[in-house]
């Protein structure tokens, strides 16, 4: 199967902001964009994006999961990057329209159509290192994806990094390209030196998240994860999983978690850890690596509560369980 995110639908929805106004949405070919080599995004990283999914249900209908939350987060990223504000209704319609156009291409579960709204600053001005782009492009790309859990259920190995950070602390809640570029070095080091799958960034001992997913710890009936602040990305999967956990009567503790507490709890039998994100849903973490030492989480195998929460979330996405929180938008 092709690697995640490498297959695209041939068309995308696009709108441009120029001369202080947004254009109508156009449907254009998705294999190229035209803008000046001096475009703001290429020099000063005025770029943000979203990742959400559409699912095919047994009745043949196609449903987008938590679109409103993703549109809201892109609006927030846009604001924090000083990009031109867009109309949430226009973007929602762009998403629904382009998914509708390719609805027959939405894979059956466990596959889905991954949706990638993107907003970039296009003003041709290399003099604007310290000023926002006055023009921008907003587009919605589609990429059908398979099941990246099948056979991939092998629990992850995470390197705990207490010295570096994923991105600048005030940028954590912005889903912006520069943050991923800044995490590449530490992740490459962790892979080559510790055979880790991901880095869990824990600046000064504060357990935050990995390069592109949130971290949750499950200890018996309690789910522990860092409370929302500006230092990390406010995942919508995180929010969905916590909501489902509360529905199950679990205790959800959104609070700071130190590396010391994490390693202590990880050593207890029955403790579980997982990464949450749209692409991977909820992926078990089996091993934590800290200062050259390896700490299995619980048994080191995929946790049963992790798999249960994952299944309950999939059931809602796939139309097999009631959508009682109104998370699905029919295309």
Ligand X SMILES: *Cc1c(COP(=O)(O)O)cnc(C)c1O
Inter-axis angle of helices 304-317 and 236-247, to 10 degrees?
A: 110
Subset of 171-200 contacting ligand X (CB under 6 A): 175
Residue among 237, 287, 314, 329 that touches ligand X (CB under 6 A): 237
- Find the shortest distance in angstroms from Cβ 210 to ligand X: 7
- Find the shortest distance in angstroms from Cβ 71 to ligand X: 12
- Find the shortest distance in angstroms from Cβ 238 to ligand X: 6
- Look at the alpha carbons of 80, 84, 87, 92 in this order and tell me if their dihedral is positive or negative: negative
Residue among 75, 115, 212, 331 that touches ligand X (CB under 6 A): 212
Nearest to 172 by CA among 230, 235, 256: 230
**Which residue, 106 or 236, has its beta carbon nearer to ligand X?**
236
For the window 265-304, what string marks contact with ligand X as x by the rule CB under 6 A? Answer: -----------xxx--------------------------
State how far the alpha carbon of 27 is from the alpha carbons of 84, 99, 136, 237, 325, in Å.
21, 12, 17, 29, 32
Site for ligand X contains 233 (CB under 6 A): yes
- Find the shortest distance in angstroms from Cβ 128 to ligand X: 26
For the window 45-84, what string marks contact with ligand X as x by the rule CB under 6 A? Answer: ------x---------------------------------
Q: How many residues bind ligand X (CB under 6 A)?
A: 14
> What gap in Å lies between CA 273 and CA 218, rounded to an integer?
6
> What gap in Å lies between CA 313 and CA 322, rounded to an integer?
11
Interface stretch with ligand X, choices 29-37, 132-140, 233-241, 250-258 (CB under 6 A): 233-241
Is the distance from CB of 287 to CB of 302 less than 8 angstroms? Answer: no
Q: What does DSSP assign to residue 190?
A: H
Q: Which residues pair with 324 in a beta bridge?
A: none
The residue count for the chain: 331
- Find the shortest distance in angstroms from Cβ 127 to ligand X: 30
Nearest to 39 by CA among 119, 128, 152, 160: 128
**Which residue, 124 or 279, has its beta carbon nearer to ligand X?**
279
Q: Give me the residues that bind ligand X (CB under 6 A), please.
A: 51, 175, 209, 212-214, 233, 235-238, 276-278
């Amino acid at each position: 199967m092709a690697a995640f995110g490498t297959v695209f639908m041939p068309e995308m929805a696009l709108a441009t902001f120029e001369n202080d106004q947004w254009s109508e949405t156009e449907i254009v070919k998705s294999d190229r964009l035209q803008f000046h080599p001096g475009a703001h995004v290429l020099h000063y990283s005025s770029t943000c994006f979203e990742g959400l999914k559409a699912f095919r249900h047994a009745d043949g209908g196609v449903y987008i999961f938590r679109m409103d939350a993703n549109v809201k987060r892109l609006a927030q990223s846009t604001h924090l990057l000083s990009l031109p504000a867009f109309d949430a209704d226009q973007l929602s319609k762009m998403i629904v329209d382009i998914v509708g156009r390719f609805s027959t291409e939405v894979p059956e579960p466990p596959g889905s159509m991954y949706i990638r709204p993107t907003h970039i600053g296009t003003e041709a001005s290399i003099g604007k290192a310290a000023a926002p782009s006055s023009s921008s492009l907003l587009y919605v790309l589609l990429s059908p994806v398979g099941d990246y859990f099948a056979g991939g259920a092998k629990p992850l190995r995470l390197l705990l990094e207490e010295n570096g950070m994923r991105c600048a602390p005030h940028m954590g809640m912005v889903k912006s390209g520069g943050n991923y570029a800044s995490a590449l070095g530490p992740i490459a080091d962790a892979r080559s030196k510790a055979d880790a799958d991901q880095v869990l960034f824990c600046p000064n001992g504060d357990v935050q998240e990995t390069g592109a997913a949130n971290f949750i710890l499950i200890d018996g009936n309690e789910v522990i994860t860092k409370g929302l602040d500006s230092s990390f990305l406010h995942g919508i999967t995180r929010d969905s999983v916590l909501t489902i956990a509360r529905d199950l009567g679990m205790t959800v503790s959104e609070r700071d978690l130190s590396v010391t507490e994490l390693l202590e709890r990880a050593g207890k039998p029955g403790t579980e850890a997982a990464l949450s994100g749209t692409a991977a849903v909820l992926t078990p973490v089996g091993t934590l690596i800290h200062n050259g030492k390896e700490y299995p989480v619980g048994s080191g195998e995929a946790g049963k509560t992790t798999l249960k929460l994952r299944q309950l979330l999939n059931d809602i996405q796939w139309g097999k369980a009631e959508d009682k929180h109104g998370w699905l938008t029919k295309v």
